């Protein structure tokens, strides 16, 4: 954790930005909630728990800065808020998401699935790919299991 913070600090310095206490607090929250796809507001509230004096605008400015530096990815699942996701270190590309349309859960797929697809796009469309966004919408394994479970329970109730 500290190591990644240190690397982000260097990354900022390399572009003549400072890792101020506010920025550090924001980055720490992101590191501690790496799985969570937090919105700016979410980040703000979590930052505030430890550093109450910090302002919402600063969090927004920090997230924007981090996105510019490609330290985080700004993503959008179509629910009116931007979410921020730490990029895997060394990952050339954005990871993918599975959004559950039942419960809203968002799971991540780190593995690169698009190698072949990208080759096709670059060749057939003469398009130089720099990044991509891939999101699947559907039913996650939890809701899937739950549905089965509910069906079971239903059956048991009937037989009582």
Partner DNA sequence: GTTGGTGCAAACCATTTGCACTGGC
Partner DNA sequence: GCCAGTGCAAATGGTTTGCACCAAC
Please state the residue numbers annotated as binding site for Fe cation.
132
Which entry of DNA, a second copy, none binds 121, CB below 5 to 8 A by partner kind?
Answer: a second copy
Query: Count of residues for the chain?
Result: 160
- Say how many residues touch DNA, by CB under 7 A: 22
**Nearest to residue 63, comparing CAs of 37, 46, 84, 77?**
84
How far apart are alpha carbons 93 and 130 in whole angstroms? 8
Max Cα–Cα distance, the chain, nearest Å: 71
* Least Å from the CB of residue 62 to DNA: 6
Which entry of DNA, a second copy, none binds 135, CB below 5 to 8 A by partner kind?
Answer: a second copy
Which residues, numbered 19-48, are part of the site for a second copy (CB under 8 A)? none
Is the sign of the CA dihedral 120, 121, 124, 130 positive or negative? negative
Positions that interact with a second copy (CB under 8 A): 74, 76, 78, 82, 98, 101, 107, 109, 113-114, 116-118, 120-121, 125-141, 144
């Amino acid at each position: 954790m500290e190591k990644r913070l240190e690397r982000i600090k260097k990354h900022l310095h390399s572009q003549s930005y400072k890792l101020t206490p506010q920025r550090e607090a924001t980055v720490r929250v992101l590191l501690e909630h790496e799985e969570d796809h937090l919105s700016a507001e979410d980040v703000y509230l979590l930052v505030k728990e430890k550093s109450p004096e910090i302002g919402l605008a600063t969090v927004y400015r920090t997230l924007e800065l981090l996105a510019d530096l490609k330290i985080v990815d700004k993503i959008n699942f179509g629910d009116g808020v931007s979410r921020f996701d730490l990029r895997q270190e060394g990952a050339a590309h954005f990871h993918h998401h599975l959004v559950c349309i039942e419960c809203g859960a968002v799971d991540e797929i780190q593995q690169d699935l698009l190698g072949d697809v990208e080759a096709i796009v670059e060749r057939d469309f003469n398009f130089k790919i720099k990044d991509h966004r891939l999101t699947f919408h559907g039913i996650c394994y939890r809701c899937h299991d739950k549905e089965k479970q509910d069906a079971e329970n239903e059956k048991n109730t009937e037989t009582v």
